[in-house]
Amino acid sequence: MTERTVLEDMEKELITDRYGIDYEGVFDYDGLIRMIEEWCRNNDYYCELESKKEKVTAEARNISVGYTVYRKFHNKFYSVIIFDVDADDMKDVEHEVDGKMKNLNEGKVSLIFHSYFMTSQKARWETKGYAYFLRGVVDKLIYKIDKPAYRGIVSSDTSKLINEIKGFLNIYSHLSDSEAPKGRLKGGWV
């Protein structure tokens, strides 16, 4: 049984819902993708490319990349971060960096994040009706049975990844006098 199959059978608890980063200006698209993959390696996350679409026109390129990254805490506890990187109206430009001309990209970048704390704890409780009822009573009135500390790790890891990406884009905003990347909760269904 693969890790992917195990994740599909687990319960999801939503930690971060539709948090987005928006940026318009000069940036290094390949550098952004490398930075994300390096962050995953350094933080013990397995990075899985879900989808990649690219549309090239005479004026610009539109690229959409979907990632699922996950980390195993224990046999029953996983952190899963799902996000999409969309680059719209991206053009190749040359820009001066530290006195040297460098090939960069210019356009709009949008990222949308979802993160989940996934467990298989409930599966043990929900095999019998009375055990399911008992689990509900214990969770509501006494204490949560699963490990709440892992929820904080999922939340902090998602925030760290978001801040790394904002910092990366912020460096390029200073090079081109663009606005800094904006982070916000996305409204509606994404």
Task: Write out pLDDT tens, residues 38-96.
Answer: 999 999 999 999 999 999 988 899 999 999 999 988 777 888 999 999 999 999 888 87
Q: Is 16 left (phi over 0), alpha (psi -120 to 50) or beta?
A: beta
pLDDT over threshold 80, residue 37: yes
Q: Which two tokens stand for residue 145?
A: 């049975």
Residue 42 has phi, psi (to 5 degrees) of: -70, -25
Q: Which of 83, 82, 119 is nearest to 6 (CA)?
A: 119
Average pLDDT over residues 142-158: 77
The answer to whether the CB of 89 falls within 8 A of the CB of 60 is yes
pLDDT score recorded for residue 1: 42
Per-residue confidence (pLDDT) for residue 51, from 0 to 100: 92
Q: Which of 29, 168, 21, 171 is nearest to 90 (CA)?
A: 29
Sequence spans of domains, the chain:
3-121+148-185
> DSSP state, 24?
E
* CB contact at 8 A, 155 and 47: no
Q: pTM for the whole thing?
A: 0.80
pLDDT digits (tens, 9 = 90+) for 111-136: 999 999 888 765 565 667 777 787 77
pLDDT band for position 108 (cuts 50, 70, 90): very high
